[in-house]
Amino acid sequence: MKNQLLMTAALAASVMLGEANAGEKELTKHQVPKAVLEAFEKAYPNAKGVEFEKEMFEGKAAYEVEYKEDGKEYEVMYNAEGSLVQKEE
Protein backbone atom coordinates (compact mmCIF):
# COMPACT_ATOMS: atom_id res chain seq x y z
CA MET A 1 0.00 0.00 0.00
CA LYS A 2 2.84 2.40 0.87
CA ASN A 3 4.58 1.68 -2.45
CA GLN A 4 1.37 2.35 -4.35
CA LEU A 5 0.97 5.71 -2.58
CA LEU A 6 4.57 6.68 -3.39
CA MET A 7 4.16 5.67 -7.03
CA THR A 8 0.94 7.69 -7.31
CA ALA A 9 2.63 10.75 -5.81
CA ALA A 10 5.62 10.40 -8.15
CA LEU A 11 3.33 10.10 -11.18
CA ALA A 12 1.33 13.16 -10.14
CA ALA A 13 4.51 15.19 -9.67
CA SER A 14 5.85 14.22 -13.09
CA VAL A 15 2.55 15.12 -14.77
CA MET A 16 2.53 18.55 -13.10
CA LEU A 17 6.13 19.21 -14.14
CA GLY A 18 5.36 18.17 -17.69
CA GLU A 19 2.41 20.56 -17.85
CA ALA A 20 4.50 23.42 -16.49
CA ASN A 21 6.98 23.04 -19.37
CA ALA A 22 4.41 22.15 -22.03
CA GLY A 23 4.53 25.64 -23.57
CA GLU A 24 8.29 25.69 -23.96
CA LYS A 25 10.09 24.45 -27.06
CA GLU A 26 13.85 24.17 -27.35
CA LEU A 27 15.31 25.84 -30.44
CA THR A 28 18.60 25.85 -32.26
CA LYS A 29 20.38 29.15 -32.89
CA HIS A 30 19.19 29.02 -36.52
CA GLN A 31 15.53 28.81 -35.44
CA VAL A 32 15.66 32.05 -33.42
CA PRO A 33 14.46 35.23 -35.19
CA LYS A 34 17.31 37.38 -36.48
CA ALA A 35 16.21 40.40 -34.41
CA VAL A 36 16.35 38.34 -31.19
CA LEU A 37 19.74 36.86 -31.99
CA GLU A 38 21.25 40.24 -32.92
CA ALA A 39 19.91 41.92 -29.77
CA PHE A 40 21.23 39.12 -27.54
CA GLU A 41 24.68 38.94 -29.15
CA LYS A 42 25.07 42.73 -28.97
CA ALA A 43 24.06 42.88 -25.30
CA TYR A 44 25.97 39.78 -24.14
CA PRO A 45 29.01 39.20 -26.38
CA ASN A 46 30.82 37.12 -23.72
CA ALA A 47 27.95 34.69 -23.05
CA LYS A 48 28.80 30.98 -22.83
CA GLY A 49 26.64 27.83 -22.88
CA VAL A 50 23.81 29.58 -24.72
CA GLU A 51 20.47 27.75 -25.07
CA PHE A 52 17.29 29.00 -26.73
CA GLU A 53 13.60 28.28 -26.08
CA LYS A 54 10.37 29.57 -27.55
CA GLU A 55 7.47 30.08 -25.16
CA MET A 56 4.44 32.25 -24.55
CA PHE A 57 4.79 35.46 -22.51
CA GLU A 58 1.71 37.58 -21.83
CA GLY A 59 -0.12 35.80 -24.64
CA LYS A 60 2.57 36.35 -27.29
CA ALA A 61 5.50 34.34 -28.62
CA ALA A 62 8.72 35.06 -26.76
CA TYR A 63 12.27 33.75 -26.96
CA GLU A 64 14.12 32.81 -23.78
CA VAL A 65 17.90 32.69 -23.85
CA GLU A 66 19.75 30.89 -21.05
CA TYR A 67 23.48 31.58 -20.76
CA LYS A 68 26.45 31.79 -18.41
CA GLU A 69 28.71 34.77 -17.88
CA ASP A 70 31.31 35.45 -15.18
CA GLY A 71 30.40 32.21 -13.37
CA LYS A 72 26.69 33.08 -13.06
CA GLU A 73 23.66 31.75 -14.90
CA TYR A 74 21.16 34.12 -16.49
CA GLU A 75 17.91 33.97 -18.44
CA VAL A 76 16.72 36.77 -20.67
CA MET A 77 13.53 36.90 -22.69
CA TYR A 78 12.90 38.82 -25.89
CA ASN A 79 9.79 39.40 -27.94
CA ALA A 80 9.90 38.49 -31.64
CA GLU A 81 11.05 42.02 -32.54
CA GLY A 82 14.16 41.69 -30.36
CA SER A 83 13.08 43.86 -27.42
CA LEU A 84 14.07 42.66 -23.95
CA VAL A 85 10.99 41.83 -21.86
CA GLN A 86 12.49 40.03 -18.85
CA LYS A 87 15.83 39.18 -17.21
CA GLU A 88 16.59 36.76 -14.36
CA GLU A 89 19.81 35.87 -12.56
- 3-state DSSP call for residue 51? strand
What pTM does this model have?
A: 0.72
Q: What is the pLDDT of residues 1-48, one digit of tens each?
A: 544 544 444 444 444 444 444 578 999 999 999 999 999 999 999 999
The per-residue pLDDT for 4 is: 54
The per-residue pLDDT for 23 is: 75
- 3-state DSSP call for residue 84? strand
pLDDT higher than 90, residue 63: yes
Please tell me the distance from the alpha carbon of residue 26 to that of residue 33, in angstroms, as a whole number.
14
Q: Where are the domains of the chain?
A: 23-88
CATH 1.20.272.10 fits 23-88, yes or no: no
The per-residue pLDDT for 89 is: 87
